[in-house]
Structure 1
């Protein structure tokens, strides 16, 4: 295989590791958004529901985040979770390669208080609590706690204090310095050595020896064809991301299998079933790279599904110059809750509006159902006479996103179809 083609494959294979570990380092050093920087093995807690001031792509307005970066190189870390009184929450465990390898929370383990021991690769000790084996020495816990609006914030703050970690950090992340054109290669070389691929990937990773990725020597230069191959790999990810995964249904892009690339590590709360594993290992590398690029740290579909819609029932781009309705004859089947959040296009930020409503769903106070049980959501820029079921839209193009937490089987198998957005 030519170096250029090999380098393209290496970029696709290694992008999730480089991007994920880079974000771990960012969270530890400086934090993100309203989440402050926090040392390894310490939770950083969000303190407000997102508003248009939080300019993050498709930011969540349903939950508060509690995120911890784990360093297990010195040994196990003990996790304690509080009793949330049936309130929905999820702690999602993600390894350095962006694989979701465990879940703790309402769906996976219930909402009672509990303790768990998170252990590093190769650990073989004894424990008095359930053990979660991490595939890599650094990992991430992405916590989401349901919040029913500003008045509910104090209750969530009280719960956040009950999520704790005990364990001393160790080696952390190897520091990487290299010229900008060599930085990806050097990060991949160093971080692949520190956080090795899954055993079943070892032969595939060994193919990259001609690129110098398996050497103990830092990059001081790289052949032009290798650098061109990295650009090819980057473009492959971008083009696959733009192409989408499957045909929309009533205009909605519903893909519960965007995070099925973990084929090796199934710990507490995961479903080790063929339906949730991609059948082609090599194809899974591209799916993993695209998911990391578009939605790093997204949940498996059995935990949450995130349908999006950009067009109305006639295939026209949604735009605030018009008024639209979304009529649910049957409400989305979920075990926790559902919502629709409004985002302006093309940046996918929340939309400022006169009533301060950024999402609407089954927990929205005052939402009105028809006598037959159906529910009609109104999406428009102009304020309607009755705002009970109004989801305010920007003046220009927009893209709503649904969030279905603990989706029912009918969502996962496609037998439940979201209704189209109809222009009035």
Structure 2
């Protein structure tokens, strides 16, 4: 016989999976505002924080890229719309990605989506019905009152930073109505115990930032967990039965998210094959603004299944782009199916360059945190824009992956440093070609040397 506690624990696990992206996303927004990320300084609402260099290992953010320079703004629209000014990048790749607090990508500006010329855009809160001022290129409707704008400017290395810095200074947010002010992030009850903290955060932030209608209907299932209660927290002096169910559910839900973030353990997955899912961010089913593609190809058909995909994407690649903007591929194993580890040396041979319209790269990350790997060479990624790479006469490129610098000059030129322990490299394909999106292009596997 199934007990009430078992039923509540199963429901709590579902709630954990469903709410993980919201809790993680808002937590990262708060961390950005108070601590910053690496070279991105702490930045208040409605201002851009700019990196002054390409990301390094001190940027403790999951799967941060080392190809572009970040400009990130956390935007509070509870006080009204803001005008976003975007400078002219003179044809050079950039993207501004708009993400709501449920981690849905709901709009894009940039080379692919809107071109690279200068312009003003009006960003408005949910339910806004005012008139846009003259001169704006378009209106961006935000699904939630707080959103993130994640900007990435292509940067070809330190020597390219002056150009990028000049562009960053022209990227601005201006309130449409100077007399109104936002309300900021609502604060969970501080007296809730640490083991129930996740569910308190979910309760408070779920009420503050309602999702789309179909998701709100799904949330009704969580009433027995206290997640829909308003006012004082139900978790300060919670019933022991509920505490037990929530605690067990959090453990189970976290395990589901972690498992979904790893490659499938089945015979159909070839050893060492890259996990390349152009549809990892297709869980946005309701909000399609400027620069997005609203078609069945880019929507997960099963809404309930989308919740686990969304959680896994947040866990491993928060604020990643849709596949039509950029595709991310990662692997944990070599061609023999063995875990990649810095105690061995590997090669990654590209017979021909990956099919992209913009550029590609391969970046090294540690596990289990997916942070950039510190190394004496200060090289965290390489790709088709890396100066000095050595190509073979047939046009192929062999990347050498190992902990120590190779002795031969060609190997040193093509060296991607690895950590001492396990690692997970990631390949990024910016504005990928159709063969990437339809799966006909296959990335080469990493081969152990010697």
- Tell me the TM-score normalized by structure 1: 0.93
1:358–1:392 contact (8 Å) kept in structure 2: yes
Partner of 2:188: 176
Summarize the Cα distance change of 1:321–1:365 in structure 2 as closer, same or farther, 3 Å threshold. Answer: same
Alpha-carbon distance between aligned partners in 2 of 1:5 and 1:389, rounded to the nearest angstrom: 49
Partner of 2:140: 132
Q: Secondary structure at the match of 1:208?
A: helix
**Residue 229, structure 1, aligned to residue 249, structure 2:** yes
Alpha-carbon distance between aligned partners in 1 of 2:228 and 2:269, rounded to the nearest angstrom: 40
Partner of 1:409: 434
Summarize the Cα distance change of 1:234–1:315 in structure 2 as closer, same or farther, 3 Å threshold. Answer: closer
Residues 67-113 of structure 1: CA deviation (Å, up to 9, x unaligned): 10011111111101101111111111111111111111111111111
Alpha-carbon distance between aligned partners in 1 of 2:125 and 2:169, rounded to the nearest angstrom: 25
Unaligned runs of 5+ in 1: none
Partner of 1:164: 172
Alpha-carbon distance between aligned partners in 2 of 1:345 and 1:13, rounded to the nearest angstrom: 24
**Residue 46, structure 1, aligned to residue 51, structure 2:** yes
**Residue 254, structure 1, aligned to residue 276, structure 2:** yes
Cα-Cα RMSD: 2.2
Residue 203 (structure 1) aligned to one of 198, 201, 217: 217
Partner of 2:207: 193
Count of aligned pairs between the two proteins: 424
Summarize the Cα distance change of 1:52–1:214 in structure 2 as closer, same or farther, 3 Å threshold. Answer: closer
1:211-360 to 2 correspondence within 5 Å?
211-218=225-232, 219=234, 220-223=236-239, 224-225=241-242, 226-227=245-246, 228-242=248-262, 244=264, 247=269, 251-345=273-367, 347-353=369-375, 355-360=377-382
Partner of 1:149: 157
Summarize the Cα distance change of 1:284–1:398 in structure 2 as closer, same or farther, 3 Å threshold. Answer: closer
Residues 294-352 of structure 1: CA deviation (Å, up to 9, x unaligned): 22111111111121133322223334444433222221011111111233455544444
Alpha-carbon distance between aligned partners in 2 of 1:184 and 1:320, rounded to the nearest angstrom: 35
Alpha-carbon distance between aligned partners in 2 of 1:320 and 1:211, rounded to the nearest angstrom: 45
Q: How far is the alpha carbon of 1:20 from its aligned partner?
A: 1.3
Unaligned runs of 5+ in 2: none
**Residue 117, structure 1, aligned to residue 140, structure 2:** no
1:61-76 to 2 correspondence within 5 Å?
61-76=66-81
Q: How far is the alpha carbon of 1:126 from its aligned partner?
A: 2.2
2:124–2:139 contact (8 Å) kept in structure 1: yes
Residues 255-274 of structure 1: CA deviation (Å, up to 9, x unaligned): 11111110000000111111
Residue 27 (structure 1) aligned to one of 24, 32, 48: 32
Q: How far is the alpha carbon of 1:125 from its aligned partner?
A: 2.1
Alpha-carbon distance between aligned partners in 2 of 1:311 and 1:147, rounded to the nearest angstrom: 30
1:259–1:298 contact (8 Å) kept in structure 2: yes
Residues 365-412 of structure 1: CA deviation (Å, up to 9, x unaligned): 122323332222222334232233232334554332211111111111
Partner of 2:392: 370
Alpha-carbon distance between aligned partners in 1 of 2:291 and 2:46, rounded to the nearest angstrom: 21
Q: Secondary structure at the match of 1:279?
A: coil
Summarize the Cα distance change of 1:89–1:231 in structure 2 as closer, same or farther, 3 Å threshold. Answer: same
Alpha-carbon distance between aligned partners in 2 of 1:11 and 1:342, rounded to the nearest angstrom: 30
Partner of 1:423: 448
Partner of 1:384: 407
